[in-house]
Structure 1
Amino acid sequence: MRIAVYIPFLLAVLAPLGARPVSERCEPRLATWLLTASSLVLGTATTISLGLLAATGLIGVPQLAALGHWSATSAQRVDPTELSVSLLAGLLLGGAVVAAARMLWRRARTLAGAAVDAACMPARDGLVVTEDDAPDAYALPGLPGRIVVSTGMLHTLDETEHGILLAHERAHLTAHHYAFVALAQLGAAANPLLRPLARGVTYTIERWADENAAASTGDRRRVARTVGKVALAAHRTPGATRTGAAALGILGVLGRRGPLAKAGPVPRRVAALLAPPLRRHPTLTSLTAAVLAAATLATVEATHDLHVLLTAVGAH
């Protein structure tokens, strides 16, 4: 356990460095899967490792070892984990569990509220038009989901752009993008080092929806123009509001001006639409798979080591 238990932490430090390359170079659907899986697996692996470190050190305390009929002396000799490390791991574990539980509770409440709102909204073919001069559009998850568009947004766009907007929002609903966001955020809640991965997912789901709209219309430049037009309209209307964290919309997150390498999500999305479609990136896919496999195997190995340790120090 002395080495294996620390591997997930090392990978969690290194993994965010790959969030931007994966989101920018991989086909958006694949990138979303890779980033979501990375956040969830690494968040789970580091949480388990914290639990293993806490348990290994605490059984070296005579009073605690006696509760499980273990030999504290043998535990310290076989795996001499510092008590300070175990206490720190225990505190971090408690924080990770609380943060993940709070995130799950908030997300469940938001999605439940969105589902109720969607069910109560009168819709035509799943489309709800609200009387609001502020340009806004988003997908509201539910059974069934709803696409909500304000009259201000409809007046901003022409007929062709209406179709692009609807194709984008339908992609959010049919692909269940809210689930990817929730799972990625769950991993980041357990381990804040993984927040870049969760932010990457919020970007790649927008790119995924953009590509769906481009495929349905056959005009990438027109989709790019629509994305930019919507973002500009929203930027000119600072009073525009969004409906809850479960809402997924074409607006995304407005970025600051600057070189493309440092640009916000909307300029990057527009640039991606003006370029040829991205393909699957075998190298990044293989590297991500290797990281997830290493984290999983290390966690399994560390858990097995704890089992062996408990067996060795028991019945003394």
Structure 2
Amino acid sequence: MIHIAWLPLLVPFLAAPAGRRLASHLSAHLSPLQVVWLLTVTAAGLAAGSTCALALLIVPGATHLHAVAASAHLLTPLSLLAPLGGGSPDAVIAIAVTAGALLAWCAARLVRGARRRWTQLRRAGRLAAEAGGELVVLPDEHPDAYALPGSPGRIVVTTGMLRALSPPEREVLIAHERAHLRERHHLFTAVVDLAGLCHPALRTLREPLAYALERSADESAARAVGSRRLTAQAIGRAALATRASAAAGRARPGLALPATAGPVPRRVAALLGHGTGARPARPLARRAAALALVACVTLSAGASLQAADDLHDGIEVAQGESR
């Protein structure tokens, strides 16, 4: 069990490059929303697999404690049984202690992260409730625009941003932010952020997810206004206006989803039909990256289940010897 339980802890390191490649090869054949779901499910699945692996690694070492062995009616510690292949007792105990410390550390980080996200969501909800109507215009000369999640959410735009855009471009901006609220993009970012607290390698999925979310909102805005060129023009002009002012460094409320986030040149190029950047999208690379993510989740889940099954068999053997 100990050997196979390492797999869910190592697989997340393989998912990071696959996630970046998948996000860099978005196309009509693989929509941004599909990529968003794939990255989110991958992060959640791999986080669950690594957490289960840590918990399973604790059990063999814990059976060396008399109280644990007695409560499970074990006569022989699990690490000494052939089905588990646990090695020497000292090594198994050391692994159990390390796994327990890591699991406690991850649990503490996860609780703090979930509490922080919940606090931000409640604060955003209060700010949204105080505003009247879906659109909130702030009297601020610095161009800025973002979606503020809540029940219901609000779209916040400064007067500086409104002056920087033409009326049709303002419609694009509002449609983009409305897509963020309608599709609840803040929940996807929350899942991936919390998964990153369970395993450090999963933090690298945050960047490709953010890009896929922006591309999804871009496509929704383009459909709403009926022009991809206008959408690309509005996003580019809004980004230039934001970066040309001090707004880029201004603090936004927690969970705010700005319209000018991510690699704007790549977003504009994708809307104009020039691929996603310097190189065109390749179907083979796209499929390989998607299959790699699916394989990572499958491998992690399979290894966790196999380790749990081995543990169950080992406990039955130990109980049989005790009788």
Give the secondary structure class of the aligned counterpart of 1:311. helix
Q: 2:294 aligns with which of 266, 284, 289?
A: 289
Partners of 2:152 and 2:282 lie apart in 1 by 32
Deviations 1:104-151 (A, max 9, x none): 11111111111121111112xx11111111111111111111111111
Deviation track 1:65-117 (CA, whole Å, cap 9, x = no partner) reads 34543234454233325222221111111111111111111111111111121
- What are the within-5 Å matches in structure 2 for residues 189-268 of structure 1? 189-239=197-247, 241-253=250-262, 265-268=263-266
Q: Secondary structure at the match of 2:132?
A: coil
Q: Deviations over 1:40-68 (max 9, x none)?
A: 11011101101101122221344643454
Normalised to the residue count of structure 1, the TM-score between the two structures is 0.89
| Mapped pair 1:177 → 2:181 | no
1:77 is matched with 81
Q: Deviations over 1:10-56 (max 9, x none)?
A: 21111101121111113211111111111111011101101101122
Please state if 1:303 is matched with 2:304. no
CA distance in 2, matches of 1:62, 1:147: 60
Separation of aligned partners in 1, 2:37 and 2:3: 29
Cα distance in structure 1, aligned partners of 2:98 and 2:79: 19
Identity of aligned residues (%): 35
Report SS of the residue matched to 1:149: strand
CA RMSD of aligned residues (A): 2.1
Letter in 2 for 1:14: L
SS in 2 for 1:25: coil
1:190-223 CA-partner distances (Å, limit 9, x unpaired):
1111111122212211111011112222322222
CA contact (8 A) 1:141 1:247 kept: yes
Any conservation in 1 of the 2:61–2:96 contact (CA below 8 Å)?
Answer: yes
CA distance in 1, matches of 2:14, 2:179: 31
Unaligned runs of 5+ in 1: 254-264
Query: Who is 1:6 aligned against?
Result: 6
Cα deviation 1:152-211 (Å, max 9, x = unaligned): 110110001001001100110111100110011111111111111122212211111011
Is residue 155 from structure 1 mapped to residue 159 from structure 2 by the alignment?
Answer: no
Secondary structure of 1:132 counterpart? coil
Please list every run of 5 or more consecutive structure 2 residues that lacks an aligned counterpart in the other structure.
276-280
CA distance in 2, matches of 1:279, 1:74: 50
Distance in 1 of aligned mates of 2:17 and 2:291: 16
Q: Kindly state the Cα deviation for residue 291 of structure 1 after the two structures are TM-superposed.
A: 2.2
- Of 87, 93, 103, which residue of structure 1 is paired with 2:103? 93
Matched, 1:30 2:38: no
- Using a 3 Å threshold, how does the CA distance of structure 1 residues 139 and 279 change in structure 2: closer, same or farther? farther
Distance in 1 of aligned mates of 2:313 and 2:71: 18
Residue equivalent to 2:172: 164
2:56 aligned residue (46, 52, 55): 52
Q: Does the 8 Å CA contact 1:75/1:313 hold for their aligned counterparts?
A: no
SS at structure 1 position matched to 2:81? helix
Aligned residues: 303
Structure 1 match to 2:131: 121
What's the TM-score once normalised by structure 2's chain length?
0.87
Question: Could you tell me whether the CA contact under 8 Å between 1:29 and 1:208 is conserved in 2?
Answer: yes
**SS of residue paired to 2:11:** helix
Contact 1:118/1:142 (<8 A) preserved: yes
Distance 1:286 1:239 in 2: 40
Query: Does structure 2 retain, via aligned residues, the 8 Å contact 1:115–1:143?
Result: yes
